Structures are given as C-alpha cells and as structure tokens.
Structure 1
Amino acid sequence: MDHRLHLDRTLDELDPPRWAPPAADSTHLVRKVHELRRVPLCALGPADLRTLISQQVALPYVLPLAVRLLLEEPLLDACFYEGDLLLAAVNAPAAAWAVLPDLGARLRDVIETLPETAVADLPRGAAEEITRFAARLESLR
C-alpha cells in the first residue's frame, strides 16, 4: 500500500475505527494523540510523528512519514533531544517493521552511516536500541 497517496487524509479516516473524543479527565498526552488522529498526514510534524510512534498509533501510516524525515536527517531533534525521532522509530514493535521491510532496511542503511561519535552523544542506551533494531531487521529477512 502506498501511503503517500493519502497525505490529505487523517488517521481517523485511514485507520478505522474513528476514535471517540477523549474523556474529560484524560491526560494531556491522551488528548494530544486523539487530536493528532484528526490532522491530515501532510500536516504532521516531527514532534507529532514522535508522539504517535511512541504511543504505537497507526504505525503503518506514521512510520513511513518518519523514515522520510530520518533519511534526510537521521538525528533530527523532533521535540526533546537530537535523535529522539530516530529512537522512537527504532523502538517501534517488530510487527510494525515486518510490514514495512523496505523502509526498515533503508533506515538501517542510514543508521549504519552515522559516525560513532554521533551515536555516542545520544542518551544512554540508545546505541543498544539502535543495534537491536538492526538485528531485528536481519531476523526478518
């Protein structure tokens, strides 16, 4: 499925069922995720993608958008720190990457070109998370 054809649509349209409005006492994060499901894909920014990926929402639609950004700037600072979108992506469940093997391979190729010093500057444990991602992709081959 080519998700680029649907950039003018929202996750509520593409990833049924539509979500009901969040409860009045919902956390800020829950309200934000519900709100993001009503935003056209073309209007989702890096921070929005990081949030959706971290919450494992509509991954077949948001991972390709994130990878498109990461191919251009692997250590993109989406919201909190340099590389936060990359770490959200590599921590997406293996099942999500299993349906997007070509994108996963492209992301792995970009990761392999990162200088060791750049990876060392990421938060503690990031290098191990990136290594696990690459190993998971190899096991899917």
Structure 2
Amino acid sequence: MDYERSLEEIERDRWPAPPQDATRLVATAHALRRRPIGELAVEDMRLLIGQDIGLPCLLPLALEVLRGDPMA
C-alpha cells in the first residue's frame, strides 16, 4: 500500500466539496479523504472507519496499529 496517497487517489473517487452548511463530521470526513493515509492519526482512522469510509484501505492499516498498541 502506498502510504503517500490519499483515499481519493487510491479509490479513484473524488467527492465534491461538502456544502457550506455541512456538519463538522461531514467536513472532517471530506478533508481526511484528501490526506495521505500515512499521515492519518489513530483518531482520524477511527472516524473514517466508523463512517464506513475507505474500509478496504484503512482496516489493514488499523490492524497494523492495533498489533503494535492494542489500546489504540
């Protein structure tokens, strides 16, 4: 997996910008999809996984983190 690519790049699916009145959750999810997956913090992955976003890419990465720190 190329950790320098974002979910948008990996999935080849660019979402349109969120509406002006979008909730904080929606705006954050949109922004995190543009960030390289190698730069995602544990909390970022938790948010995206909890929203069912990018699971094929993020679940292996999350498992790798949990192997190193089960309390993450």
TM-score by length of 1: 0.50
Residue 130 of structure 1: aligned partner: none
Map 1:63-74 to 2 at 5 A: 63-74=59-70
What's 2:15 paired with? 19
Q: Are 1:38 and 2:42 an aligned pair?
A: no
Distance, in Å, in 1 between the alignment partners of 2:22 and 2:11 is: 22
- Determine whether 1:28 maps to 2:24: yes
Displacement of 1:28 in angstroms is 0.1
User: Deviations along 1:42-79, whole A, 9 cap, x unmatched?
Assistant: 10010000001000001011111111110111121xxx
Q: CA–CA distance in 1 between the matches of 2:49 and 2:63?
A: 11
Percent of matched pairs sharing the same residue: 40
Greater RCO (Cα-Cα under 8 Å, separation 6 or more)? 2
Correspondences of 1:71-90 after superposition (within 5 Å) = 71-76=67-72
Deviations 1:11-58 (A, max 9, x none): 111113211110110000000000000000110010000001000001
Equivalent residue runs for 1:1-141 within 5 Å: 4=1, 6-76=2-72
**RMSD between aligned residues:** 0.8
Gaps of 5+ in 1: 77-141
Structure 1 runs (4+) deviating above 6 angstroms are: none
